[in-house]
Chain A
């Protein structure tokens, strides 16, 4: 595997005693889009903060394209662009000045052509002489991305890039990330939104309580997350599931009043129509039905529980 980012045995315990990360091992492939999913407080931002040099790790090692983030921090950070969750800009600077300033901080020579390309790619060119204080939230977020791209990074961290943005901007952001992938930039994004990972990522990592509990190809994870349950409230209780229905892998509640059918929404066929037909043939009547899907957080909790 051609890793551009290698994280090994990384742990972080804050002065308060809170352990934010526990022995995290993670390899990010060059050129991929990796989505790091996790509930609030899972350790996503701490992990990014350590890689970007904002927080010191308690133990472990991080290599960015072979450069240690502690002993060779200049080379390591030069390869990284960070778009933080918060919009942190100097209100009185112009778009052009703040993006150019960021490039200079990376020790890069001025390259107006590159800055122009970045601003044009983010639809910011017309706003280049505008002060940041006059821009909308969406535009400011684009400026943050422009700053992160000003020095031509190989890895781009997007920390909750669409948190609190409207649907239109979210779509724009997804298109933008897709465009960046085509230029060969490795993108690591953190998000709460499963549809965001679904839309953009090649691989997905799930972090909970400071532990990476799984790293999988997106397609496989989507299959797991796509499961729903159909619950049938029966008119009369059943003692056991009839043999004619066994192939549906149903579950019967303890009181015999509910039949539960688990199905995959992404499968070609869910099997619901056939199940209902078989129930009818078996003479089983139901008075009500409802479907449910686990929330992402519930799935995280289940995943953590499964691993213990």
Chain B
């Protein structure tokens, strides 16, 4: 195994012992199952598939829980190891700092993948085995949700690492991570909404679209709920989808950028940091 793979595997094993991560994953699965059965009730009246409705429900759930899980995984991954002293020893090994950051990222991405697969997969499986078999388009929307959920998590992982490399105490990193979550998941949309209500048509659509790109949670929402099909209809975002000038591939690209840029920033900060 390469040092990168060793770091990633060790981190993955450590995270599997993390009770907060287990609790968040369990919560994700419980909510997903609850939404699968309770949220599927309107399927008969709207004409959209049960999986489509599940995607709409899970997308809203993901925006809250996936960033939280990602930040829980990442906020202390650098500063925590520095504080415990284990980073000191790790840096004395023939492992580059880029490999340490990348190894942790891969491990945490793996945890997110497990959480999404277990959480969302159990809900989808429950629906698939208890009613009519979903169509290909429904499964495609579900798969897009799973992939973009992991990508959303990846962007918050990067933000978590950034918080973890910027500070010298775990408690500060935790506060910073919580602030990031509140800002991007709750406050950002409220401020945007308030601006739209206050200034209305004075704000050009391009500016609104650009503002939405500044928040990975909004990019995730658009990538799942505003790209057309039954899901957009079920989510009530057909109109927004029609006005959206960015294609789905561009939204995926922006989400990928959100995953890469904070990660690169964290690596740059970590590279300069003396332990």
Contacts and interface: CB of A to CB of B under 8 A. Distances in A.
A and B physically associate:
yes
Interface of A: 14, 52-56, 73-75, 77-78, 80, 82, 84, 86-90, 92, 101-102, 104-107, 147
Contact of A84 (B17, B88, B93, B95): B88
Given A77-B93, A102-B93, 7 more contacts: A53-B91, A74-B94, A77-B92, A78-B94, A88-B89, A101-B10, A105-B94
A84 B3 CA distance: 21
A216 B1 CA distance: 44
A146 B2 CA distance: 21
A84 B85 contact: yes
Which residue of A84, A92, A102, A104 has the most chain B CB atoms within 10 A of its CB atom?
Answer: A104
Contact of A54 (B2, B84, B92): B92
B132 interface: no
Contact of A106 (B7, B94, B96): B94
Contacts of A77: 92-94
Contact of B93 (A14, A86, A92, A106): A106
B6 A105 contact: yes
B46 interface: no
A105 B86 contact: no
Contacts of A55: 274-275
B93 A90 contact: no
B86 A89 contact: yes
A101 B89 contact: no
Taking chain A's interface residues, is the majority helix, strand, or loop, or is none over half, making it mixed?
loop
A90 B18 CA distance: 13
Q: Which 7 A-B pairs have the closest CB atoms?
A: A88-B85, A74-B94, A77-B94, A52-B92, A105-B93, A104-B6, A82-B92
B90 to A, nearest CB: 8
Contacts of A80: 92
Q: Chain A CB within 10 Å — which of B88, B94, B95 has the most? A: B94
Given A55-B274, A56-B274, A88 B3 contact: no
A106 B89 CA distance: 12
A81 to B, nearest CB: 9
A212 B59 CA distance: 63
Nearest to A92: B17
Contacts of B14: 90, 92
Contact of B86 (A53, A73, A90, A106): A90
A42 B225 CA distance: 62
Contacts of B6: 101, 104-105
B33 to A, nearest CB: 30
Contacts of A87: 85
Interface string B91-118: 1111110000000000000000000000
A87 B96 CA distance: 22
Contacts of A73: 94, 96
24 contacts: A52-B92, A53-B92, A54-B275, A55-B275, A77-B92, A82-B89, A84-B85, A84-B89, A86-B88, A88-B84, A88-B88, A88-B89, A90-B14, A90-B86, A92-B17, A102-B93, A105-B3, A105-B6, A105-B7, A105-B94, A106-B3, A106-B94, A107-B2, A107-B3
